[in-house]
């Protein structure tokens, strides 16, 4: 395999407590810690492991977003990606738009494998990889927890509701990652210094000729109807009688 | 007035209850027709079950050997072809629907709405984002085909119909790729009630400590006739198989009773149980965040509490 393309989305860090803006126009992102989407870190880690064991020669990190996404691409380079591409846009990007932009980059780079996260933890859409595979007319192996490569094929183990599904797909292919695929490495300080010298190309989205304008509109954001603290009981007997009182057990 | 097509989920022989939940969601959309399509290799019994759901206008079957396994690359072109004559296409937000529907949406050139939790109007929906920490209202512009997955925990299964809907074989003209092949399904399943439909669920977390220790969770579940769930930490540690994970990246469930043992209550776990009727938490740490949302909390060691529960439950 020659090239692996990995998609890295800049998202609010998973440890941040999300708050909806009082006027309902969105969630608070000012001054909030931003990170690589956790599933995308796993995607990058997998690509690096494939390259390190000699099954691929180059790993390219790709992000679609504002110039701020360069931070996450630099982190990706520090983890070990060889080079990075930013498709620069100031507008909102929906999964179909992202898939269309990624397809344009694929047409330029001809990767053998594209790895994305199964879902971005901000929009929780779980769509982009599947949409990309459709537009590219190539196989998809979503929610992967294990990948094996041989003879131009990938055998992927997928986490599905019924258990683990194994499928075989021909390369080139799109893979989306589940949490148990691997544990991403930590970035070391010297690698951060080295990453500064690695190439990061910025391409304005207009130059790619991809139609990425959002199709849907979001009109209002609100906090979920919360659950509140209930009662505390002192022992198992009290618990059982509380459940019986509610008619939940016989 | 619109025509809705629902993609049936099944395991090759039985209809999954997620399909009837999609019908409930569709019923909120003031549709003129709600059709279900069964893509299968041997659709017979599955189609009969689909036809018995209330409010269903018609069941279509696409019976072919290619449809033996639920491969997105195989099903999506057929769904896209069928979608031509519908205004709206729905699938459940299970791993089945999440895998296939975005592929069909992209073939149709339309954006998808994931995880509808409420229908506000024929073209306006609510969906959760940020692991359920915010709810957003999404509007679909007039004239655009609606392609959406339904958050099954937000809906009850539609009731049985008084008389069954007609079943018809559909002709689908779609090129089926050969680049994707099904190998096998390694099922972690047991005889216990299915996690996504069980009325009661007993879950264990890292606090359970080991695969062997999980026996205590199973035995309590069996006593209650409950399904068994787990936190991500318990799955990652190898105590239980992946299909038992509850949460943002596992199963989103809504049982009447959810009992969590040795689970701290991380936000990603709580996302999966927000719609449960009653949440019970047993944790030895009085400060565990799960107590902030539990309806009934008990501070204690699960290895002491569960045997006492067994005794208090009798039998
Ligand atoms: C992107 C992303 C997605 C995620 N998705 C999910 C998901 O879908 N589902 C999920 O569950 N997690 C998910 N997580 C992980 C989540 O953040 C937590 O790490 C996880 O839920 C913790 O599991 P736990 O509560 O079992 O373990 P811990 O947080 O380690 O808690 C163990 C608890 O057990 C208690 N305990 C220990 N011994 C005993 C005893 N003898 N008796 C009683 N109590 C005891 C302790 O006091 C503690 O509260 C996700 C994380 C990320 C980043
Ligand atoms: N703007 C983006 N930039 C880079 N990758 C993206 C972007 N949007 C989506 N992705 C990729 O697609 C995956 C799924 O995203 P989503 O469909 O939004 O849940 C993410 O985990 C990323 O790998």
> Could you tell me the CATH number of the domain that includes residue A108?
3.40.50.620
B140, closest residue in chain A (CA to CA): A216
**Residue among A6, A7, A66 to mutate when testing ligand 2 (max atoms within 8 A of CB):** A7
With cut-offs at 50, 70 and 90, classify the pLDDT of residue B87: very high
Residue A226 lies in a domain: no
Q: Can you read off the two tokens belonging to residue A31? A: 């001054």
- Closest in B99, B130, B274 to A142, CB measured: B99
Choose from A12, A172, A216, A238 for mutation: most chain B CBs within 10 A. A216
Please report the DSSP string for chain A in residue order.
--EEEEE--EEE-TTS---B-TTSSSB--TT--EEE-HHHHHHHHHHHHHHHTTS-SEEEEEEEE-GGGHHHHHHHHHHT-SEEEEEE-SS---HHHHHHHHHHHHHHH--SEEEEES--TTT----HHHHHHHHHT--EEEEEEEEEEETTEEEEEEEETTEEEEEEEESSEEEEE-GGG--PPPPPHHHHHHHTTS-EEEEEHHHHT------SEEEEEE--------EEESSHHHHHHHHHHTTS--
- Res B263: pLDDT: 98
| The pLDDT of residue B1 is above 80 | no
With cut-offs at 50, 70 and 90, classify the pLDDT of residue B262: very high
Mean pLDDT to the nearest integer, B197-210? 97
Residue A248 lies in a domain: no
What is the sign, positive or negative, of the torsion defined by CA atoms of B280, B283, B286, B289? Answer: negative
Cα separation of B40 and B46, whole Å? Answer: 9
| B112 touches B147 (CB < 8 A) | yes
Q: How far does the centroid of ligand 2 lie from the alpha carbon of residue A63, in Å?
A: 8
Cα separation of A206 and A34, whole Å? Answer: 26
Residues of chain B numbered 176-235 and touching chain A (CB < 8 Å): 177, 179-189, 196, 200, 224, 232, 235
Residue A225 lies in a domain: no
| The pLDDT of residue A20 is above 70 | yes
Residue A238 lies in a domain: no
| The pLDDT of residue B188 is above 80 | no
Respond yes or no on whether the N-terminal peptide bond of residue B239 is cis (omega within 30° of 0).
Answer: no
Place of tokens 């990948």: A147
Partner-chain contact A160 B181, CB within 8 Å? no
Q: Whose CA is nearest to atom 1 of ligand 2?
A: A64
| A64 touches A89 (CB < 8 A) | yes
- Res B187: pLDDT: 84
Q: What is the pLDDT of residues B208-224, one digit of tens each?
A: 999 999 999 999 999 99
Q: What is the pLDDT of residues A171-205, one digit of tens each?
A: 999 999 999 999 999 999 899 999 999 999 999 99
Q: How far does the centroid of ligand 1 lie from the alpha carbon of residue B72, in Å?
A: 32
Q: What is the pLDDT of residues B270-315, one digit of tens each?
A: 999 999 999 999 999 999 999 999 999 999 999 999 999 999 988 6
Residue A104 lies in a domain: yes
Q: Can you read off the two tokens belonging to residue A69? A: 């996404």
| The pLDDT of residue A146 is above 80 | yes
Q: What is the pLDDT of residues B14-34, one digit of tens each?
A: 999 999 999 999 999 989 999
Rounded to the nearest angstrom, the minimum Cα separation between B261 and chain A is 13
Which of A152, A176, A120, A148 has its CA nearest to residue A49? A148
Q: How many residues does chain B have?
A: 315
| Predicted structure pTM score | 0.96
Residue A135 lies in a domain: yes
Q: Whose CA is nearest to atom 41 of ligand 1?
A: B301
Cα separation of A211 and A213, whole Å? Answer: 6
Cα separation of B240 and B263, whole Å? Answer: 14
| A129 touches B150 (CB < 8 A) | no
Domain that holds residue A71: 3-219
| The pLDDT of residue A250 is above 90 | no
| B3 touches B79 (CB < 8 A) | no
- Res A1: pLDDT: 83
Cα separation of B221 and B258, whole Å? Answer: 11
Which of B13, B290, B302, B274 has its CA nearest to residue B128? B274
Judged by average pLDDT, the poorest of A16-30, B121-135, B188-202, B249-263 is B188-202
Residue A199 lies in a domain: yes
Which residues form ligand 2's pocket by a CB distance below 6 Å?
Answer: A 7-9, 37, 39-40, 63-65, 93, 95, 98, 116-117, 119-120, 123, 125-129
Partner-chain contact B111 A160, CB within 8 Å? no
> Is the minimum distance from the CB of B302 to ligand 1 under 6 angstroms?
yes
| The pLDDT of residue B189 is above 70 | no
Residues of chain A numbered 86-145 and touching chain B (CB < 8 Å): 94-96, 99, 118-119, 121-128, 130-135, 137-140, 142-143, 145
| A94 touches B111 (CB < 8 A) | yes
Q: What is the pLDDT of residues A57-102, one digit of tens each?
A: 999 999 999 999 999 999 999 999 999 999 999 989 999 999 999 9
Q: What is the pLDDT of residues B107-143, one digit of tens each?
A: 999 999 999 999 999 999 999 999 999 999 999 999 9
State how many domains chain A has: 1
Q: What is the pLDDT of residues A199-240, one digit of tens each?
A: 999 999 999 999 899 999 998 999 998 888 999 999 999 999
Which of B96, B110, B135 has its CA nearest to residue B8? B96
- Res B315: pLDDT: 61
Three-state SS sequence of A31-50: CCCEEECHHHHHHHHHHHHH
DSSP lists the bridge partners of residue B38 as B61
Q: Whose CA is nearest to atom 49 of ligand 1?
A: B264
Cα separation of B288 and B301, whole Å? Answer: 13
3-state secondary structure of B103: helix
What are the structural domains of chain B? 2-169 (3.40.50.620), 200-312 (3.40.50.1220)
What is the sign, positive or negative, of the torsion defined by CA atoms of B272, A225, B19, B70? Answer: negative
Give B-chain residues touching A162 at CB under 8 angstroms: 11, 185, 187, 189, 243
A181, closest residue in chain B (CA to CA): B236
Q: What is the pLDDT of residues A93-126, one digit of tens each?
A: 999 999 999 999 999 999 999 999 999 999 999 9
Q: CA B162: distance to chain centroid?
A: 26
């Amino acid at each position: 395999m020659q090239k692996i393309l990995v998609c890295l989305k800049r998202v609010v860090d998973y440890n941040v407590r999300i708050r909806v803006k009082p006027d309902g126009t969105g969630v608070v992102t000012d001054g909030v810690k931003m990170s690589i989407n956790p599933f995308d870190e796993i995607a990058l880690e997998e690509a690096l492991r494939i390259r390190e064991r000699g099954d691929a020669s180059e790993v390219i990190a790709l992000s679609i977003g504002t110039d701020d996404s360069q931070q996450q691409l630099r982190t990706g380079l520090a983890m070990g990606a060889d080079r990075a591409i930013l498709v620069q846009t100031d507008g909102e990007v929906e999964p179909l738009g992202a898939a269309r932009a990624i397809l344009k980059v694929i047409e330029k780079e001809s990767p053998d494998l594209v790895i994305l996260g199964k879902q971005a933890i901000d929009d929780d859409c779980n769509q982009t990889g599947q949409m990309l595979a459709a537009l590219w007319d190539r196989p998809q192996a979503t929610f992967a927890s294990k990948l094996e490569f041989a003879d131009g094929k990938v055998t992927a183990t997928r986490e599905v509701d019924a258990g683990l599904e194994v499928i075989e797909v021909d390369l080139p292919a799109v893979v989306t990652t589940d949490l148990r695929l691997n544990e991403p490495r930590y970035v070391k300080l010297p690698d951060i210094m080295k990453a500064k010298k690695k190439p990061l190309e910025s391409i304005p989205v207009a130059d790619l000729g991809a139609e990425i304008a959002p199709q849907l509109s979001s009109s209002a954001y609100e906090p979920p109807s919360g659950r509140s603290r209930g009662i505390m009981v002192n022992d198992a007997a009290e618990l059982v009688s509380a459940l019986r009182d509610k008619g939940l057990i016989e | 007035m619109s025509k809705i097509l629902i993609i049936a989920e099944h395991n090759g022989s039985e209809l999954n209850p997620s399909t009837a939940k999609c019908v409930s969601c569709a019923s909120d959309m003031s549709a003129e027709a709600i059709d279900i399509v069964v893509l299968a290799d041997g659709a017979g019994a599955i189609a009969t079950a689909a036809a018995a759901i209330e409010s269903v206008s018609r069941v279509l079957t696409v019976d072919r050997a290619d449809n033996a396994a639920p491969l997105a690359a195989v099903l999506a072109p057929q769904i896209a072809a069928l979608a031509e004559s519908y205004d709206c296409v729905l699938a459940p937000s299970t791993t089945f629907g999440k895998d296939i529907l975005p592929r069909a949406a992209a073939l149709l050139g339309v954006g998808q709405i994931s995880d509808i939790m409420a229908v506000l109007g024929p073209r306006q929906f609510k969906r959760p984002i940020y692991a359920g920490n915010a709810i957003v209202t999404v509007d679909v512009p007039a004239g655009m085909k609606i392609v959406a997955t339904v958050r099954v925990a937000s809906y009850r299964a539609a009731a049985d119909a008084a008389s069954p809907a007609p079943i018809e074989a559909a002709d689908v003209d779609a090129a089926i790729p050969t680049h994707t092949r099904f190998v096998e399904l390694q099922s972690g399943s047991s005889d216990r009630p299915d996690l996504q439909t069980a009325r009661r669920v007993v879950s264990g977390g890292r606090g359970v400590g080991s695969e062997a220790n999980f026996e205590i969770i199973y035995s309590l579940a069996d006593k209650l006739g409950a399904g068994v769930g787990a936190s991500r930490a318990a799955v990652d540690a190898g105590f239980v198989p992946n299909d038992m994970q509850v949460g943002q990246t596992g199963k989103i469930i809504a049982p009447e009773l959810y009992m969590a043992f040795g689970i701290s209550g991380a936000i990603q776990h709580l996302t999966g149980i927000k719609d449960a009727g009653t949440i019970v938490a047993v944790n030895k740490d009085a400060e565990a965040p799960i107590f902030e949302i539990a309806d009934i909390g008990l501070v204690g060691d699960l290895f002491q509490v569960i045997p006492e529960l067994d005794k208090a439950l009798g039998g």
